[in-house]
Amino acid sequence: SKAGDRLKGLSVKLTRCSSISGKVVDDTDNRVPEAVVQAVSRRWLHGQLIYEQSPSGFTNDAGEYRISDLPPGHYYVCADTSTNVFVEKQGGPEMSSLNTCYPDARTLDGATQLDLQTGQDVPGIDMKLPIGPVFHIRGKIVGHATAEEQPLSLKAHLHGFGDLFELDEEDATGGKFDFSGVAPGTYDVALAANQDQIIAKATVDMKKADVNNVVLTIPTMLTVKGRAHSVDDDETF
């Protein structure tokens, strides 16, 4: 076609999306309302494994969920809940519901991948959220920059999964931090400037006890001075 042409009789075929549905219960088979459920796909981009999450779905009062408008592809389904941490007995460990990937894995490792075809509805993807001990990651931020000089954000997530299994964001302005409700695993604690520029990071191996005294050091920002010369006319700037 060229400028001024009128094209007629064009047709556009839309791909029918798919859906996944199921139920989320706790370890006593009681329904879990308001659990967050996501479909997760992964792909390679520039030599890195990238995780893409669907818009979050939430279970209803009966613990049921449905994630719709999914294009055909391979997906993992993971559920999490914001249930408060509790203590079963005085002096005992803190306990909480643990996130689960279908059918019963803590992360995508060991989870079952679902293959969705065009327009397919996949029901019965049920998950049980176990109860387990959770701990704290505590530490401090040291360095010369202040929150006024450089807005900072502090995040932590399971090592190797990007933002997929992320803990609640902590305040980075007070110099100290305390991530609570942390299940056993290996985590990356990262301090970022301007939301996404990582300036300090520590990897923490959480086993069966709190991890304290994690230190994130803000690097000293250097100022580079000099003169630039034009190659053509030797002009100095």
Residues of the chain with pLDDT under 70: 1-2, 4, 9-15, 82-83, 144-150, 195, 221-237
CB-CB contact of 189 with 201 (8 Å):
yes
Per-residue model confidence as pLDDT tens digits over 138-181? 999 998 654 455 678 899 999 988 778 888 888 777 789 999 99
Give pLDDT, residue 92: 87
Give pLDDT, residue 230: 63
Give pLDDT, residue 120: 94
Give pLDDT, residue 67: 95
Give pLDDT, residue 23: 97
Give pLDDT, residue 147: 44
| DSSP secondary structure letter of residue 147 | T
Give pLDDT, residue 146: 47
pTM of the model: 0.77
Q: Comparing C-alpha atoms, which of 134, 123, 44 is closest to residue 93?
A: 134
* Rounded Cα–Cα distance for residues 66 and 184 (Å): 29
Cα 78 from chain centre: 11
